[in-house]
Each structure stands twice: as structure tokens, then as C-alpha cells.
């Protein structure tokens, strides 16, 4: 199938679109990709929605006018990305924008996950069948609903020496450990670019710490770092996943706000690396290398901190011939094909699903 995968991650920076030819189990061809940054006004709107989402959800206000407007604008930009890619497609994999993620915290509990975006509008704007709502079935079955990309990582890494770890550094970090026989263990590691981006906005009035210059100019604060490292999430065993704001209270209470702009950025970069180091303790065997995707791989401060924390080479995914900017969008192209074929998206080792689970919903073209 010819698919277009779309992804807007927890960094809230824009939408990636990628063309993939796949049957859901193998990749015939990875084609071109494009990125459309969100306008600053939409980024602010989405960031405000993250703060409001728990109240909106708990009050049953999922169709609040602010939500519908953000969903419309977001969907139209996704349609622009499809048009800019300009490739014929049988399916579009549309993740939408996560605004709230509260999976079950214990067996037997129910959880929920909320991604905004209008799949029917996207189908009308593009004239292509849209696959969406990839996470809900897993969460309803007691799984974490995240991460979703490990099955795609396994396909990409088929020829690589193993064990190998694929680390994605978006707003939140997530890792996939792939064993010699294709075994999968995956979970969210902890905060990544999200707190750094928020810090850059407060300190510099910038969307992010370009080239890690602010963090590289500072020194991590040991006391603040120690308080952050005490967060119970780091010691919890997988499966586990995070909401973009799960660490916000801990960050406020850590004393990080009193640090200088440079020291605060350096501390947050070091904390991201500490979270990844803590994640490595949950692997059956150490990886022979770490391959890093997402915007964090472009931050020298983050990559330097990771290299000092981990006992194996830490490299951007480009060394394996992958496109670290398009990787998650490509994954949703493959996942869309898996939905169409009724193949599982999540597994006990990736989300804690009780067994391999299918998921996703389909909206026909011109719905």
C-alpha cells in the first residue's frame, strides 16, 4: 500500500508527513518527507490546551469551542502537509495531537488518552482514506497506549547488530529495546525536549534552545537534579508511559526556577540523560548501541549528556541510514497499513497489553 504517515509530537513544533510503501510487515520504499512548522499562535493555543485538558476531560467538555477550533486548525495544517508531499496514497495515518494521556496506573484500572484532530475533515480535504485513533483500544484493554512505534523500529533494525536501543527524544523521551530474536521492550523514559523548550521560552523568548547553546553554557545543579531523580516514575518498572506535563509539579518543586537560564537548561538536559540511564536498567541485556531520533538528537548538550551517562555508543539514527526527522511519521504510515490488514499495533512488552492488540479506526475518503 502507498501510505502517508503524519505525526505531531509532544514538542508541539509542527507536523511531519512521510511517504511509505508497505504491507504493514515489511517496507518496500521509504519516500520523501516534509515538515510544516506550526504558527506561533497555534503552538500557544495547543500549549494552553495541554494545561486545560485535564479539567476539560473531567468535565466532559471534549467538544469545547477552544478544542474544536484547535482541532480544525491542526487538521488543516496536516492537510497542507499531505498536499506539500504531493504523493498518491491509499491511506493516511493520522495520529493527531495528544493533549492528555492518563493510562491505567495499575492492573484492573481504566485509563484514557486524548488526541485532537478531525479525521473526517482530513479525509474530505485530501480525498484519501484516513486511519486514526491508534491508542484507544490499547488503553481500554488496560495497556499504556504508548509507545506505538516499536513494531516499526523492529522492521527498520532487522539487519543491525543486537541488542539495540532506539531512543526518540521529543517532548517526552521513549525507548525501544530490540533483542537478538526481535524481542521488544518499550516505554517512555521521562521528560526530554518538553521542559527544555518551556525553559527556553521563559528564559530566552525562543521556541527552543537552538544548538543547545544555553545548556552548554551552564552547569547542572546537583541539588535540583537530585530532587528530580527521586521522582517515583524513574524507579517504576515498565510498562509505563507519560503525559507531556506529568513532571511539571516535580519541576516546579525542585527549585529549578531559581537557577540561572544557562544552569537551568544544563540541569534539564542532564535530567533527560539521567532518565535514559534509569531506563537502561530495565533491559535484559545492554544494547550494543543507542540510536537517537527526534529533535533531541540535534541538541549537542543532550547528546553529550547521554554519551556520558550510557555505556554504549550514542549516535543519531542517520548512521543506520534512517531519517531521524521523519521516523515517527513513517511509523504511522506503516501502522496505518497494519490497521487496514488487521495486524497488531501493541504488545505486552511495549504497552503492557494483555496480548498483541489491533486498534485504530478508519474514515473512508470524502467522509
Q: What is the pLDDT of residues 137-190, one digit of tens each?
A: 999 999 999 999 999 999 999 999 999 999 999 889 999 999 999 999 999 999
Higher per-residue confidence, 265 vs 243: 265
How would residue 104 be classed by pLDDT, with cut points 50, 70 and 90?
Answer: confident
Q: Confirm whether residue 359 is marked as ligand binding.
A: no
Whether the predicted pLDDT of 291 surpasses 70? yes
Q: Confirm whether residue 173 is marked as ligand binding.
A: no
Least confident span in 102-116, 161-175, 239-253: 102-116
Q: Confirm whether residue 14 is marked as ligand binding.
A: yes
Instruction: Tell me what the mean pLDDT of segment 335-342 comes to.
Output: 98
Residue 107: per-residue pLDDT: 58
Residue 280: per-residue pLDDT: 96
Contacts of 243-251 with CB under 8 Å at 24 or more apart are 243/100, 243/101, 243/102, 244/10, 244/50, 244/98, 244/101, 244/171, 244/172, 244/194, 245/50, 245/51, 247/190, 247/191, 247/195, 251/191, 251/195
Q: What is the mean pLDDT of the chain?
A: 94
In Å, how far from its chain's centre is CA 259?
28
Q: Confirm whether residue 16 is marked as ligand binding.
A: yes
Whether the predicted pLDDT of 234 surpasses 80? yes
Whether the predicted pLDDT of 33 surpasses 70? yes
Q: Confirm whether residue 13 is marked as ligand binding.
A: yes
CA distance linking residue 1 with residue 173, whole number of Å: 30
How would residue 244 be classed by pLDDT, with cut points 50, 70 and 90?
Answer: confident
Residue 27: per-residue pLDDT: 96
Q: Confirm whether residue 11 is marked as ligand binding.
A: yes
Least confident span in 38-42, 106-110, 251-255, 342-346: 106-110
Angle between helices 300-309 and 261-280 (to 10 degrees): 40
Q: Confirm whether residue 205 is marked as ligand binding.
A: no
Least confident span in 25-34, 204-213, 240-249, 299-308: 240-249
Ramachandran area for residue 190 (φ above 0: left; ψ -120 to 50: alpha; else beta): left
Pairing of strands 14-22, 27-37: antiparallel
Q: Could you tell me which residues are beta bridge partners of residue 293?
A: 168
CA distance linking residue 292 with residue 282, whole number of Å: 18
Residue 160: per-residue pLDDT: 97
Return the percentage of the chain with pLDDT > 70, whole number.
98
Q: Confirm whether residue 9 is marked as ligand binding.
A: yes
Amino acid at each position: 500500500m502507498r501510505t502517508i504517515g503524519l505525526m505531531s509530537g509532544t514538542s508541539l513544533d509542527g507536523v511531519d508527513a512521510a511517504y511509505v510503501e508497505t504491507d504493514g510487515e515489511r517496507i518496500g520504499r521509504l519516500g520523501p518527507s516534509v515538515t510544516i512548522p506550526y504558527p506561533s499562535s497555534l503552538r500557544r493555543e495547543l500549549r494552553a490546551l495541554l494545561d486545560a485538558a485535564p479539567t476539560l476531560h473531567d468535565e466532559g467538555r471534549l467538544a469545547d469551542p477552544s478544542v474544536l477550533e484547535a482541532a480544525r486548525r491542526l487538521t488543516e495544517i496536516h492537510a497542507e502537509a499531505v498536499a506539500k508531499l504531493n504523493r498518491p496514497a491509499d491511506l493516511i495515518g493520522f495520529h493527531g495531537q495528544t493533549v492528555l494521556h492518563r493510562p491505567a496506573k495499575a492492573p484492573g484500572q481504566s485509563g484514557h488518552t486524548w488526541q485532537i484532530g478531525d479525521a473526517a475533515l482530513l479525509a474530505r480535504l485530501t480525498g484519501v482514506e484516513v486511519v486514526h485513533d491508534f491508542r484507544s483500544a490499547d488503553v481500554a484493554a488496560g495497556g499504556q497506549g504508548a509507545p506505538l512505534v516499536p513494531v516499526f523500529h523492529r522492521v527498520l533494525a532487522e539487519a543491525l547488530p543486537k541488542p539495540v536501543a532506539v531512543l526518540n527524544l521529543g517532548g517526552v523521551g521513549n525507548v525501544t529495546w530490540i533483542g537478538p530474536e526481535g524481542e521488544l521492550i518499550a516505554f517512555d523514559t521521562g521528560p526530554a525536549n518538553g521542559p527544555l523548550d518551556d525553559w527556553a521560552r521563559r528564559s530566552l523568548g525562543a521556541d527552543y534552545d537552538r544548538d543547545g547553546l544555553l545548556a552548554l553554557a551552564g552547569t547542572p545543579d546537583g541539588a535540583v537534579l537530585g530532587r528530580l531523580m527521586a521522582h517515583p516514575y524513574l524507579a517504576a518498572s515498565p510498562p509505563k508511559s507519560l503525559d507531556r506535563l506529568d513532571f511539571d509539579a516535580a519541576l516546579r518543586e525542585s527549585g529549578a526556577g531559581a537557577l540561572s537560564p544557562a544552569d537551568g537548561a544544563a540541569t534539564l538536559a542532564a535530567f533527560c540523560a539521567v532518565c535514559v540511564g534509569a531506563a537502561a536498567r530495565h533491559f535484559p541485556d545492554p544494547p550494543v548501541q543507542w540510536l537517537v531520533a527526534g529533535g533531541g538528537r540535534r541538541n549537542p548538550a543532550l547528546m553529550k549528556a547521554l554519551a556520558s551517562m550510557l555505556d554504549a555508543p550514542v549516535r543519531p539514527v542517520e548512521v543506520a541510514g534512517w531519517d531521524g526527522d521523519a521516523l515517527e511519521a513513517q511509523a504511522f504510515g506503516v501502522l496505518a497499513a497494519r490497521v487496514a490488514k488487521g495486524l497488531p499495533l501493541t504488545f505486552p512488552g511495549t504497552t503492557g497489553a494483555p496480548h498483541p492488540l489491533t486498534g485504530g479506526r478508519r474514515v473512508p475518503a470524502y467522509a
